[in-house]
Amino acid sequence: MQFDNSYARLPAHMFARQDPTPVAAPGLIGLNAGLAQDMGLDPDELSLPDWIAVFAGNRVPPGAEPLAQAYAGHQFGNWVPQLGDGRAVLLGEHVGPDGRRWDIQLKGAGRTPFSRMGDGRAWVGPVIREYIVSEAMHALGVPTTRALAAVSTGEPVYREGAMPGAVLTRVASSHLRVGTFQYFAARQDTDALRRLTDMALGRHYPGTTGALGLLEQVTTAQARLVAQWMALGFIHGVMNTDNAHVGGLTIDYGPCAFMDAYHPGRVFSSIDQMGRYAYGNQPQIAVWNVAQLASSLLPLIDPDEAAAVEAATPLVHGFADIYQAEWLTRFRAKLGLVRALDGDQALIESLLDRMARLGVDFTRAFRCLAEGTAAAEFPEPEAFTTWQADWHARLAAEGRSLTDAQATMRRVNPAIIPRNHQIEAAITAAVAGDLVPFHALNAALAAPFDAAPDDPLRAAPAPAEIIRRTFCGT
Ligand code: AMP
Ligand code: MG
């Protein structure tokens, strides 16, 4: 790895230097060969014991300057002035041969000054879950942090019982969160805010300048990101401001899920008792998070707070139009529509309303629409066929044949997504020492638009198999 650690060069109070804590017996669970190559790294070399030792935290590679980042955040709407990397260590920033910069972070690498009551560790379940889901999101074209490697530690981690420990090597274009800005805004540290702003602009929005410029870009990036989630039926589950990425990446996969039966109120997380982060609430939460970023940036926008608020407010309010346009574009594409016509939103909502009323599987419904078999997904087929007549008329209005439309629809409506019961099966097998299901699932999810109609991974879970709740790694 070619390290150039710009975060480690920030003023010392913006992070804590922290080496990963070594573990008893590192073992490789998975190495992402394709990603390694994109980063200019040799996957064969990364699979050798010396590099497995790095991914486990037992060896700090030359050039790394390990640290834990400070951040704060609103958790379920409540302000928490200090969170920070409590179970993650940033080894450093690898700069690939193409000049791209990759944060290399070990998640589950032991305690840090930000661990509070936590053990700084992760067990194999959340590590495998984040590996599978983040890589699936990437294959689906959604901006996300990535998974370079997962290793077992040979040590137990104590949750409900003793579980096998693991470490995820997470890589990303940065780990700058809304909560990173909030941490320094709350401490009235304008110098740190300025440095973070420059870093965020340099990494994610080169060519843009200033705090207002950053706010505008983050608003757009978050609006687009959430529209993509919505179009895939993805529920993040913990949209706290510390999990809102200023580069518009999906980050911190905890109790996330791809919805099975469509319903806008759908929640999977057992810790989200009020349904704050339900599927249908995600756009409002994203704009709320952007508003928290705006508040943090006010001192950089104008020394006169009223003037700063006046300048920032229209940018935050711009979220709604950007989101709405992106949502329409994505759902039009899901229906094979190219042109924008009046009534498109009503057509889309009419389908979604029928799906919600009948509990139709989100992913299967759209994929089967692309394959001409959607009627069978609806317990009341006439609820579909009456809508289908309107859809066919709409396609005719732009002179598109059903065959042409369905060909493009098969490139935006995935055949397979990581379903909870499949992830759970991969975890259960891994705990028992069998990594075959984990690797098989990853391989299939790398080409999510290709699975044949009879591929068993396409099956929606039988009701008894549905895991209605997922739990956070802690
Ligand atoms: P998350 O739910 O992953 O977004 O984490 C929220 C906060 O809790 C972050 O500051 C984490 O670093 C911290 N945290 C989560 N799990 C642990 C753990 N096992 N040990 C220490 N800190 C943790
Ligand atoms: Mg987090």
- CA distances in angstroms from 334 to 228, 284, 351, 363, 368, listed in the order given: 11, 23, 12, 11, 11
Give CA–CA dist 217/194, Å, rounded: 16
Q: Does residue 223 surpass a pLDDT of 90?
A: yes
The mean predicted confidence, pLDDT, of the chain is 96
Q: Does residue 308 surpass a pLDDT of 80?
A: yes
Q: Does residue 324 surpass a pLDDT of 80?
A: yes
Name the closest ligand to CA 472.
1
Do residues 113 and 206 both lie within one domain? Answer: no
Q: Looking at the domain assignment, is residue 354 inside a domain? A: no
Q: Looking at the domain assignment, is residue 295 inside a domain? A: yes
Do residues 40 and 108 both lie within one domain? Answer: yes
Pocket-testing residue among 106, 115, 253, ligand 1, by greatest number of atoms within 8 A of Cβ = 115
- Measured in angstroms, how far is the CA atom of residue 30 from the centroid of ligand 1? 23
Percent of the chain with pLDDT over 70: 97
pLDDT band (50, 70, 90) for residue 359: very high
Q: Does residue 253 surpass a pLDDT of 60?
A: yes
Mean pLDDT of 346-354: 98
What does 7-71 look like in DSSP terms, one character per residue?
GGGS-GGGEEE-PPPP-S--EEEEE-HHHHHHTT--HHHHTSHHHHHHHHTS-PPTT---EEE--
Task: Domain of residue 149: give its range.
Answer: 7-172
pLDDT band (50, 70, 90) for residue 129: very high
Q: Does residue 207 surpass a pLDDT of 50?
A: yes
Is position 242 annotated as part of the catalytic site? Answer: yes
Q: Does residue 138 surpass a pLDDT of 80?
A: yes
Give CA–CA dist 82/93, Å, rounded: 24
Q: Looking at the domain assignment, is residue 157 inside a domain? A: yes
Do residues 106 and 46 both lie within one domain? Answer: yes
Do residues 112 and 23 both lie within one domain? Answer: yes
Of the residues 172, 192, 214, the one at which a domain ends? 172
pTM equals 0.97
The bridge status of strand 78-80 relative to strand 257-258 is unpaired
**Per-residue tokens: 365:** 């419904």
What does 136-174 look like in DSSP terms, one character per residue?
HHHHTT--B-EEEEEEEEEEEEESSSEEEEEEEEEEES-
CB 416 within 8 A of CB 410: no
Place of tokens 């709409």: 394
**Residue 223 burial (10 A CB sphere; 0-12, 13-18, 19+):** buried
Of the residues 327, 346, 380, the one at which a domain ends? 327
Whether 115 is in the pocket of ligand 1, judged by its Cβ within 6 Å, is yes
pLDDT at 451: 87
Q: Looking at the domain assignment, is residue 435 inside a domain? A: no
Q: Which tens digit of pLDDT belongs to each residue from 399-431?
A: 999 999 999 999 999 999 999 999 999 999 999
- Measured in angstroms, how far is the CA atom of residue 85 from the centroid of ligand 1? 7
Give CA–CA dist 278/36, Å, rounded: 35
Q: Looking at the domain assignment, is residue 378 inside a domain? A: no
pLDDT at 474: 46
Mean pLDDT of 444-459: 92
Q: Looking at the domain assignment, is residue 383 inside a domain? A: no
Q: Provide the domain count of the chain.
A: 2
Query: What's the start-to-end Cα distance of the chain, in Å?
Result: 30
Looking at 242, 252, 260, 272, which residue is catalytic? 242
pLDDT at 271: 85
Give CA–CA dist 449/407, Å, rounded: 11
Do residues 30 and 146 both lie within one domain? Answer: yes
Do residues 165 and 251 both lie within one domain? Answer: no
Do residues 152 and 208 both lie within one domain? Answer: no
Pocket-testing residue among 15, 18, 83, ligand 1, by greatest number of atoms within 8 A of Cβ = 83
Do residues 284 and 194 both lie within one domain? Answer: yes
Give CA–CA dist 201/191, Å, rounded: 16
Percent of the chain with pLDDT over 90: 93
- Measured in angstroms, how far is the CA atom of residue 311 from the centroid of ligand 2? 30
Name the closest ligand to CA 159.
1
Tell which atom from ligand 1 comes closest to the C-alpha of 75.
6
Place of tokens 């959430």: 226
pLDDT at 466: 61
Q: Which tens digit of pLDDT belongs to each residue from 61-97?
A: 999 999 999 999 999 999 999 999 999 999 999 999 9
Do residues 262 and 159 both lie within one domain? Answer: no
Do residues 108 and 234 both lie within one domain? Answer: no
Q: Does residue 473 surpass a pLDDT of 70?
A: no
Do residues 255 and 195 both lie within one domain? Answer: yes
Q: Looking at the domain assignment, is residue 224 inside a domain? A: yes
